[in-house]
Copies of this chain bind each other. A is one copy, B any other.
Amino acid sequence: MAVTAESVVDLCRRARAASHDLPTVPGEVKDEALRRTADLLRERTPEILAANLTDLERGREDNLPASLVDRLSLDATRVEAMAVGVEAVIALPDPVGEVRQERTLPNRIHLVQVSVPIGVVAVFYEARPNVTIDAAALCVKSGNAVLLRGSSSASASNAVLGGIVREAVAAVGMPEGTVEVVGGGDRAELAELAGQREYVDLIIPRGGEGLKKALEEVAKVPVLYAASGNCHVYVDADADLDMGRAIAFNSKVQRPSVCNSAETLLVHRDVAAEFLPQALAELAEAGVELVGDDATRAAAGATEVGAATEEDWDTEYHALKLAVKVVESLDEAIDHVNRHGSGHSEAIVTESQEAGNAFTRAVDTACVYVNASIRFSDGFEFGMGAEIGTSTQKLHARGPIGLRELTSTKYVLHGSGQVRG
Binding site for B on A (CB under 8 A): 20, 23-24, 103, 105, 107, 109, 111, 113, 116, 118-119, 197, 201-202, 216, 220, 222, 224, 240, 243, 246-247, 249-251, 254, 338, 356, 360-362, 364-373, 375-377, 381-383, 393-396, 398-399, 408-420
Contact B246 A419 (CB under 8 A): yes
Distance (Å) between the CB of A43 and the closest chain B CB?
33
Closest to A357 in B: B412
Contact A394 B361 (CB under 8 A): no
**Copies of the polypeptide in the assembly:** 2
Which residues in B have their C-beta under 8 angstroms from that of A418? 371-373, 376
Contact A419 B383 (CB under 8 A): no
Contact A222 B222 (CB under 8 A): yes
Contact B364 A20 (CB under 8 A): yes
Contact B381 A23 (CB under 8 A): no
> In terms of DSSP, what is the predominant structure of the interface of chain A?
mixed
Contact A368 B411 (CB under 8 A): yes
Contact A420 B375 (CB under 8 A): yes
Which residues in B have their C-beta under 8 angstroms from that of A369? 413-415
Which residues in B have their C-beta under 8 angstroms from that of A372? 109, 413-419
Contact A416 B371 (CB under 8 A): yes
Which residues in B have their C-beta under 8 angstroms from that of A111? 382-383
Distance (Å) between the CB of A407 and the closest chain B CB?
9
Assembled-state Cα–Cα distance A411/B412 (Å):
29
Contact B361 A23 (CB under 8 A): yes
Distance (Å) between the CB of A42 and the closest chain B CB?
28
Apart from A103-B383, A113-B399, A222-B393, 6 more pairs, CB < 8 Å: A371-B414, A372-B419, A373-B419, A376-B413, A381-B420, A395-B408
Which residues in B have their C-beta under 8 angstroms from that of A373? 415, 418-420
Which residues in B have their C-beta under 8 angstroms from that of A246? 417, 419
Contact A201 B395 (CB under 8 A): yes
Distance (Å) between the CB of A221 and the closest chain B CB?
10
Contact A240 B417 (CB under 8 A): yes
Closest 9 CB pairs of A and B: A372-B415, A250-B419, A394-B408, A375-B420, A396-B396, A243-B417, A373-B419, A372-B418, A367-B411
Closest to A411 in B: B367
